[in-house]
Amino acid sequence: MIVKLLSGDRPRSKMLSAVLLLILFGLLFAPFLFPGTRSLDTAARICIFIVLVASYDLLLGYTGVVSFAHTMFFGIGAYGTAIALVNMGASYSAIALGTVCGALVAGAFAFVITLFSLRVKAIFFAMMTLAVASAFLVLVSQLSGFTGGEDGLSYRIPREMTPAFKLVKEKVLGVRLNGKLITYYVVFFSSLCLFLVLLRMVNSPFGRVLQAIRENAFRAEAIGYKVVRYRSVATILSAVMAALAGSLMALWLRYTGPATTLSMDIMVDILLMVVIGGMGSMYGAVIGAVLFLLTQSYLQNLLGLLQESLGSLPIVSEVVSPERWLLWLGMLFICSIYWFPKGIVGRLRGT
């Protein structure tokens, strides 16, 4: 049963299997193992970014297409849900309609981009996607009457998904069973299902063709595969999955703005997660997202503890100052890329 869920793509490493199981159960029981608003928010973001990074790896790692428009698709999904909730009110029909419309619009945008761009060389396609994503960010910022502009959109979601809704009055294992917990598990199980769909996709005959195109596009074309067509389909599917991840983010945050969905900083983060985890492996998306977001969330706190313990050493305490957390974050990822050139999954698999 487990092998069927994994689409036949086994981790092929005891250490990797143990890490993946630890992540799965850690996220499944996160509200009870790590109680607190911040830890729950971090767990939810990890779930969402696993799908987002995996959808980008479908494009970069499996197809060999470099795109800088992935956050645009992520933002389209988030804004689709946000706009529906603002105009239709806090209802499940608004969530469903916004999610579907966001995914369809993202797929349509991806189709238009591939129609005009995928026949050009890789670097020109990458530059084209960067230009389109930048133009879309400016457009969203300017349409303040529709998108909220730079301030973004705040909205209500159904009461059953808010902290005000209580399943039971008493705490269970020290955790309140409220609407926030329900929303977390909606995000968790939706992300799990989307990830399994992506895993099935890359281990299907379609996924094998994408890998053949990545390795040698001319050879794939020579044996009869329409390279442009397969790349176009991969781009559209990747965009749709990113949009669905954006809808989950909109649902979790109850706010959508350019900084939370369309920023180029998010695009850089996605690239780092793919490289750190390992390109061409869906499991790499899992490990990359977990490591990056945990480090981003808690490195500053860790440095603060180190500074307190090393307060008697003036130079050292300055070096480990929490204000320098971005410097240490960069150094950690440079070291990880140096030690794991094929990503962490590649090293754990011994490839």
Q: How confident is the model at residue 122 (pLDDT cuts 50, 70, 90)?
A: low
Mean predicted confidence (pLDDT) in 245-257: 95
Q: Which one is predicted more confidently, 208 or 330?
A: 208
Which among 133, 151, 152 is positioned nearest to 85, based on CA atoms? 152
Residue 267, pLDDT score? 92
Mean predicted confidence (pLDDT) in 102-110: 95
Give the tens place of pLDDT for each residue, 20-51. Answer: 999 999 999 999 888 888 899 999 999 999 99
What whole-number distance in Å separates Cα of residue 229 and Cα of residue 351? Answer: 30
Collapse the DSSP code of 13 into the 3-class scheme (helix H, G, I; strand E, B; otherwise coil) and give the result. Answer: coil
Q: How confident is the model at residue 305 (pLDDT cuts 50, 70, 90)?
A: confident
The ranges assigned to domains in the chain are 2-349
Which among 1, 70, 35 is positioned nearest to 239, based on CA atoms? 70
> Topology of domain 2-349, per CATH?
ABC transporter involved in vitamin B12 uptake, BtuC (1.10.3470)
Q: How far is CA 294 from CA 23, 121, 291, in A?
A: 12, 36, 5
Percent of the chain whose pLDDT exceeds 70? 92
- Asked if 242 and 73 touch (Cβ cutoff 8 Å), the reply is yes
Residue 21, pLDDT score? 92
Residue 336, pLDDT score? 77
